């Protein structure tokens, strides 16, 4: 029982440290839907972008999302921009800024030779942050990761399912 205050302080410090991205400008929370996939199945990566209150994210130059090479998931493009993903652009204080009220959705398909098991998808978001109050613009990146699993079975198209 005498270690409880130490554990509480450690937990709060760990959340504060690991819950931030370098620079603390944005945080990207990633997920995959569905979590359990079979070969040939389609799914999507969901990215929730949380922006610090006093920061704007510029739609120009490009806001891009890239994934590290992955043997299980096949994406239609090597990288995605805010325009590709129909990200909402809002006017904030006379400037255009990306609005992340809804998660960004990136489609993929599971490869025919995807290995069975639990995998981690890693990627990064490259963006330009603007501080209207301090008068600066800076290029930065935020990394993200999402866990998913694959099975060796193949997805069966709906028209081939027998009642």
* Domain segments of the chain as ranges: 25-148
**Other CB atoms within 10 Å distance of the CB of residue 51:** 17
Rounded alpha-carbon distances, angstroms, from residue 115 to 112, 118, 148: 9, 9, 12
18: CB partners within 8 A, 6+ apart:
none
| Residue burial 98-129, b: 16+ Cβ < 10 Å; e: rest | bbbeebbebebbbeeebeeeebebebbbbbbb
List pLDDT tens digits, range 102-152: 999 999 999 998 999 999 999 999 999 999 999 999 999 999 999 999 987
List pLDDT tens digits, range 24-71: 799 999 999 999 999 999 999 999 999 999 999 999 888 999 999 998
**Other CB atoms within 10 Å distance of the CB of residue 8:** 10
Contact 74, 108 (CB under 8 A): yes
pLDDT score recorded for residue 158 = 53
CATH value of 25-148 in 2.40.50, 3.30.70, 1.10.10, 2.60.40: 2.60.40
Burial class (CB in 10 A: 0-12, 13-18, 19+), 44: middle
pLDDT score recorded for residue 156 = 56
Give the C-alpha separation, 13 to 122, whole Å: 25
pLDDT at 77 over 70: yes
Give the C-alpha separation, 87 to 80, whole Å: 11
């Amino acid at each position: 029982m005498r270690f409880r205050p130490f554990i509480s302080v450690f937990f709060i410090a760990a959340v504060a440290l690991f819950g931030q991205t370098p620079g603390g400008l944005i945080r990207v929370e990633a997920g995959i839907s569905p979590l359990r996939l079979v070969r040939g199945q389609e799914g999507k990566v969901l990215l929730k972008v949380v922006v610090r209150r006093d920061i704007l994210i510029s739609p120009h130059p490009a806001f891009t999302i890239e994934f590290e090479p992955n043997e299980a998931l096949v994406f239609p493009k090597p990288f995605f921009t805010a325009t590709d993903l129909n990200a909402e652009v809002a006017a904030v204080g006379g400037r255009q800024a990306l609005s992340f009220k809804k998660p960004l959705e990136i489609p993929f398909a599971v490869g025919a030779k995807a290995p069975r098991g639990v995998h981690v998808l890693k990627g990064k978001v490259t963006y330009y942050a603007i501080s209207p109050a301090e008068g600066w613009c800076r290029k930065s990146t935020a990394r993200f990761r999402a866990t998913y699993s694959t099975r060796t079975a193949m997805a069966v198209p709906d028209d081939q399912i027998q009642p």
